[in-house]
Structure 1
Amino acid sequence: MAATMSPFGDEAFYWLESRHPAWGYSDLPPLTAWLIWLGERVAGHGLFGMRWPFLMLGSALPWVMVAFGRRAFDARTGWQAGLLCLALPLAGTFGVMAMPDVPLTLAVAVALYALLRAMDEERLLPWLLLGVALAVAWLTHYRAAMAMLAGLLLLVFTPRGRGQWRRGGLWLALAVATLGLVPLIVSNWRQHGAGLAFQLVDRNPWSFHADALVQPLEQAIACTPVLYVLLLWALWRSWRQREEGAPWDLLAWTSLGFLVPYLVFGLFADNLRFRAHWPLPGYLPLLAALPALCRETGRGWRVATVAGGVLGGMGTLLGLAYLALAASPHGAEVLAASKAFPTNFVGWRQSAAQARTLLGQKDAVLVADNFMLAAELEFQLGGRPVYSLDSTLNVKHGRAPQLAIWGRGEAGLRAAHAGAPMLLVVSEVMREREKLERLGAICGSIRSPELATRLVLFDGRKSFAYYRGRVPAEPLARVADPASCLFWRNAQALPRP
Structure 2
Amino acid sequence: MQDEGQRARRAFWTLWTLVLAAKIALAARLPLFVDEAFYWQEGQHLAWAYSDLPGLTAWLTRLGVELGGTHPLALRAPFLAIGALVPWLLARLAMREYGARDGWRAGTLALLLPLAGTLGLLALPDVPMALATVLCLDAGARLLKRASASASLELAAGLAIGALSHYRFLGVIAVGLAALLMLRDGRRVLRHPWVWAAIATGAAAWTPLVLWNLHNADAGLRFQLLDRHPWAFHPDGALFVLVQAAAVTPLLLAALLVAVRRGAQDAAPVSRYFAALGGLTVFGFFALGFFADNERVSFHWPLPGYLALLPLAPRVLDAWPRTARVATLALAALGLAGALGYHLTAARADLRERLAGTKAYPANFAGWRPLADEVRRTLATLPPGTRVIADNFKVGAQLGFALGDPDIPVLDHPLNHKHGRAPQLRLWGLRADRLPDETPVLLVAGTSDVRLRDLPAYYHALCARLGPLPPPRVLHVDRGEQRFLLFRFDPGAPRAGSCRTPAMAWIDVPAEGGRVPRRFVVRGWAFKDGVGLDRVEVTLDGRVVAQARYGTPDPGPRQRWPFSNDPQHPQVGFQAQVDARRLAPGRHRLGLRLHGRDGSVEPWPEQAIELR
* Alignment match, 1:137: 162
CA offset digits 1:368-388 (Å, max 9, x no partner): 111111111111112263221
2:133/2:172 contact within 8 Å kept: yes
Q: Deviations over 1:51-109 (max 9, x none)?
A: 10001011111101101211221111110001000110011111111111111111101
Residue 423 (structure 2) aligned to one of 378, 384, 401: 401
What is the TM-score of this pair, normalised by structure 2? 0.75
SS state at 1:455 partner: strand
1:14-413 to 2 correspondences below 5 Å = 14-241=39-266, 244-295=267-318, 297=319, 299-300=320-321, 302-336=322-356, 339-363=359-383, 364-383=386-405, 385-411=407-433
CA contact (8 A) 2:183 2:269 kept: no
SS at match of 1:166: coil
- The answer to whether the aligner puts 1:461 opposite 2:481 as a matched pair is yes
- Quick one: structure 1 residues 121 and 224, their matched pair in 2 at CA, closer, same or farther if it must change by over 3 Å? same
Which structure carries more strand by proportion?
Answer: 2
Are residues 1:484 and 2:564 paired? yes
Quickly say closer, same or farther: Cα 1:110–1:362, change in 2 above 3 A.
same
Return closer, same or farther for 1:323/1:175 CA change in 2, 3 Å cut-off: same
Q: Deviations over 1:212-250 (max 9, x none)?
A: 122111100111111111211111222233xx2422221
Residue 443 of structure 2 is aligned with which of 382, 403, 424? 424
Shift of 1:135: 0.9
Are the counterparts in 2 of residues 114 and 129 from structure 1 also a CA contact under 8 Å? yes
* Residue 191 of structure 1: how far off its partner (Å): 2.2
Aligned CA distance change for structure 1 residues 475 and 82 (closer, same or farther; 3 Å): farther
Q: CA deviation at 1:433?
A: 6.0
Higher helix proportion: 1
What corresponds to 1:450 in structure 2?
470
What's the offset of the Cα at 1:322? 1.5
Q: Distance in 1 between matches of 2:157 and 2:565?
A: 53
Contact 2:160–2:205 under 8 Å retained in 1: yes
Give 1:290's aligned amino acid.
A
Does the aligned pair in 2 maintain the 1:440–1:485 contact within 8 Å?
A: no
| Residues 440 and 259 of structure 1: CA distance in aligned 2, closer, same or farther (over 3 Å) | farther
C-alpha separation in 1, matches of 2:605 and 2:112: 42
Label 1:80 to 1:465 Cα distance change in 2 as closer, same or farther (>3 A).
same
Counterpart Cα distance in 1 of 2:255 and 2:113: 12
1:411-439 deviations in whole A, cap 9, x for unaligned? 3x65xx34422111111223446545544
Post-superposition offset of 1:477: 10
Relative to structure 1, the CA distance from residue 6 to residue 439 in structure 2 (aligned partners, 3 Å threshold; closer, same or farther) is farther
Whichever residue aligns with residue 205 of structure 1, its letter is P
Contact 2:79 2:120 in 1 (8 A): yes
CA distance in 1, matches of 2:173, 2:448: 41
Amino acid at match of 1:67: R
Q: CA deviation at 1:306?
A: 3.2
Measured in 1, the distance between the counterparts of 2:601 and 2:124 equals: 32
Q: Count matched residues.
A: 487
Residues 397 and 406 in structure 2, CA contact (< 8 A), matched pair in contact too: no
CA gap of 1:91–1:340, structure 2 versus 1, over 3 A, is same
1:210 offset after TM fit, Å? 1.3
CA distance in 2, matches of 1:394, 1:133: 31
SS where residue 304 of structure 1 aligns? helix
Match of 1:2 in 2: 27
Which residue matches 2:571? Answer: none
SS, match of residue 469 in structure 2: strand
Instruction: Work out whether residues 388 and 409 of structure 1, in 8 Å CA contact, stay in contact via their aligned partners in 2.
Output: yes
Distance 1:447 1:313, change over 3 A: same
RMSD (Å) for aligned C-alpha atoms: 2.6
Secondary structure of 2:444's partner? strand
- Corresponding letter in the other structure for 1:231: L
Query: Does the 8 Å CA contact 2:357/2:481 hold for their aligned counterparts?
Result: no
CA contact (8 A) 2:147 2:195 kept: no
Give 5+ residue unaligned stretches, structure 2.
Answer: 1-25, 500-560, 567-595, 608-612
Match of 1:227, SS? helix
Distance 1:152 1:106, change over 3 A: same
Aligned amino acid, residue 232 of structure 1 = L
Contact 2:467 2:494 in 1 (8 A): no
For the 8 Å contact 2:61–2:76, the answer to whether it is kept is yes
Per-residue CA shift, 1:231-281, capped at 9, x if unaligned?
Answer: 11111222233xx24222211111022112222222211111000000011
Quote the offset at 1:452 in angstroms.
3.9
Q: Which protein has the larger Cα radius of gyration, Structure 1 or Structure 2? A: 2
Residues 476 and 214 from structure 1, CA distance in 2 versus in 1: closer, same or farther, beyond 3 angstroms? farther
Q: Give aligned-pair identity as a percent.
A: 38
Separation in structure 1 between the aligned mates of residue 51 and residue 494 of structure 2, nearest angstrom: 26
Say if 1:87 and 1:471 are closer, same or farther in 2 by CA, change over 3 A.
farther
Q: Distance in 1 between matches of 2:390 and 2:108?
A: 44
Residue identity opposite 1:456 in structure 2:
H
Instruction: State the alpha-carbon separation in 1 of the partners of residues 493 and 82 from structure 2.
Output: 47
Q: Mark the CA change 1:18 to 1:493 in structure 2 (over 3 Å): closer, same or farther.
A: same
Aligned-partner residue type, residue 40 of structure 1: V
Q: Is the 8 A contact 2:48 2:55 kept in 1?
A: yes
Task: Report Cα offsets for 1:167-226 as digits up to 9, x if no partner.
Answer: 112201101111211111222223222111111121111111111122111100111111
Which is worse superposed, 230-239 or 334-343? 334-343
* CA separation of 1:394 and 1:482: change in aligned 2, threshold 3 A: farther
Q: Say which is worse superposed, 106-115 or 117-126, in terms of deviation.
A: 117-126
* Counterpart contact for 1:423–1:466, Cα < 8 Å: yes
| Amino acid of the structure 2 residue aligned with 1:291 | P
8 Å Cα contact 1:445-1:476 kept in structure 2: no
Distance 2:89 2:455 in 1: 45
Are 1:366 and 1:385, in contact at CA under 8 Å, matched by a contact in 2? no
> CA offsets, 1:446-497, max 9 Å, x none?
2342124111121221111111125899998998x796389xx999972453
- Asked if 2 retains the 8 angstrom alpha-carbon contact of 1:369 and 1:391, the reply is yes
Alpha carbons of structure 1 residues 361 and 39: separation in structure 2 relative to 1, 3 Å = same
Task: Quickly say closer, same or farther: Cα 1:491–1:164, change in 2 above 3 A.
Answer: farther
Structure number with higher relative contact order (C-alpha < 8 Å, ≥ 6 residues apart): 1
* In structure 2, distance between residues paired with 1:66 and 1:471: 63
Could you tell me how far apart the structure 2 residues matched to 1:226 and 1:107 are?
27
Check whether the contact 1:367–1:424 (CA below 8 A) recurs between aligned residues: yes
Deviates more, 1:69-78 or 1:425-434: 425-434
Q: Residues 493 and 439 (structure 1 numbering): CA distance in 2 closer, same or farther, change over 3 Å? A: farther
Give the drift of 1:318: 1.4
